[in-house]
Structure 1
Amino acid sequence: MSFADARRSSDERRISPVFWVLLAILGTSAWAVWQGYGAAGFGVFLFVVAGWMVSLCLHEYAHARTALHGGDITVGAKGYLTLNPFKYANAVTSFILPVVFVLLGGIGLPGGAVFIERHRIRGRLKHSLISAAGPLVNLAFAVVLLVPVGAGWLDGSPGTAQVGPYLVHTFPAALTFLALLQVSAALLNFLPVPGLDGYGIIEPWLSLKTRRAVEPFAPYGLLAVFIIFWQSQVNQWFFNLVYQIMNLFGVDDFYIYFGQHLFRFWQL
């Protein structure tokens, strides 16, 4: 490898300033929420939105990094390894819409951003792992957030907010709501629906005839999921499942409710 090639490879993997800014916002808002500095609701809002965007970057990075090791050496030149959200194939579906859905409904809408040159990758298992890498990051993120809350390590955190008759520790509440987004995003992404990662996991194992029959519906998979989840009964069933998963970590519904309540600071 020449010096120019080495330098180009290093540039392709250098973390973007945009991602560093997101981390700075996440860290600053986390400190403010922990200490109880400033308006509690707005601090929780900044922390959750920044944390959600960081997780989206890591989700797409996981797809790209797994693809790189699977044989697609073009992901670096496309900027996918820089953690820069503006380098992804579709910033609207990957970042803008997910953030809007968090604001509107508190659901972790999955995005689809990195364009993988699948013909460069050999082996069905590699294709499945590339698709699974993103939602697995969301699951890992959720575990990291839920363990300290469920274990009660943060119950004595200094930052508190008075919500009606309740005194709420804001930091564990914020972590819990961010974890809810991660769990919901992982569950949605694992659905075997064309256009989502769940279908990408099983697609390599389907017959060519089946894949060709499903292919025209892929662009509408996410829209179909949105329409189905707009139904109150399906939405309720889905969130009951999310709450049950979070309860497995010992997280009380108290933090789930008040985390979302504080996030919507404009309604306080």
Structure 2
Amino acid sequence: MTTAATRGDRSVSPVFLGIAAVTAVAGWAVWTGFADATGFAVFLFVTGAWIVSLCLHEYAHARTALHSGDLSVGAKGYLTLNPLKYTHALLSIVLPVIFVIMGGIGLPGGAVYIERGRIHGRWRHSLISAAGPLTNVAFAVVCTAPFWLDALDGVPRAFRYALAFLAMLQVTAAILNSLPVPGLDGYGVIEPWLSYKVRRQVEPIAPFGLIAVFALLWIPEVNIVFFDAVHALLRGLGVEEYQRYCGDDLYRFWRGLFGERDPGCAVG
């Protein structure tokens, strides 16, 4: 019989604390320009912060499920923020990081296993699914706060660019994961309200939803429309496209080794 989560089940994992510490140190290095390694520091800072946001995304699902009736999430380690405890660590952490490195896209991962049979009420099921994307929204608001609050005085350009790029990742993750595509959280929000027949028909294709979204983004026309919407939203939050672009340019520090970095994004 599954009991309520114990204190140990809810203790923050040393793995997560280590990731958070690396992110903080890298953020300090970006801010101070430590050792002239700005590009590499931006890479560590953005990647670390992105992994932290992924952990919090999954934690939000698990915590909401716990309060909705699924007490098993504690024993599974989902409340410790340890990314190694996820059902699909590869999908939840590794692939999203690879997507960021390859194309600067904040694709969501797939994640914690919720025992839905323990939860009663369609609204609770919808809220569990919505909790993850809402975490990305909150992250985007925090990352863009210096921009829309006009509080950038004294903030080094490299740190501004890194925040702008990180904000773009959060916005893309929030939008993509909110799509009503099987396998994504957006579909999870509406699934409880669909008929049993429709849910059974959709179930076999759910594992391929994320792959389908990724494939669609490779279509130039779809990619342009999507990123136009992302940039419009970021502009509304005070983040200009050149700031996001320069953040992306700094993030790919290895391009500087081959002289491919845009001189317009120089921060020295």
Taking structure 1 as the reference length, the TM-score comes to: 0.92
Post-superposition shift, 1:226?
1.3
Indicate the residue corresponding to 2:178 in structure 1: 190
Indicate the residue corresponding to 1:19 in structure 2: 16
Aligned partner of residue 33 in structure 1, secondary structure: helix
Matches within 5 A, 1:78-89: 78-89=76-87
Q: 2:47 aligns with which of 38, 46, 49?
A: 49
1:224 aligns with 2:212: yes
**Deviation per CA, 1:166-205, whole angstroms, max 9, x where unpaired?**
xxx1001101101100000010000000000000000000
The answer as to whether partners of 1:150 and 1:252 remain within 8 angstroms in 2 is no
Distance 1:155 1:267 in 2: 29
Indicate the residue corresponding to 1:10 in structure 2: 7
Distance 1:106 1:124 in 2: 35
Aligned partner of residue 222 in structure 2, secondary structure: helix
RMSD (Å), alpha carbons:
1.2
Indicate the residue corresponding to 1:243 in structure 2: 231
Distance 2:238 2:174 in 1: 19
Moved more, 224-233 or 199-208: 224-233
Indicate the residue corresponding to 2:159 in structure 1: 171
What are structure 1's unaligned runs of at least 5 residues? 160-168
Which portions of structure 1, spanning 4 or more consecutive aligned residues, are displaced by more than 3 angstroms? none
- 1:171 aligned partner, one-letter code: F
- 1:228 aligned partner, one-letter code: L
Matches within 5 A, 1:59-208: 59-157=57-155, 159=156, 169-208=157-196
**Deviation per CA, 1:1-60, whole angstroms, max 9, x where unpaired?**
xxxx89x70100000000000110111011111111131111111100000000000000
- 2:26 aligned partner, one-letter code: S
The answer as to whether partners of 1:154 and 1:171 remain within 8 angstroms in 2 is no
1:259 aligns with 2:247: yes
Aligned partner of residue 75 in structure 1, secondary structure: helix
Q: 1:212 aligns with which of 200, 204, 217?
A: 200
**Deviation per CA, 1:221-265, whole angstroms, max 9, x where unpaired?**
111111111111111111111111111111122211111111011
The answer as to whether partners of 1:150 and 1:250 remain within 8 angstroms in 2 is yes
What are structure 2's unaligned runs of at least 5 residues? 257-268
- 2:182 aligned partner, one-letter code: P
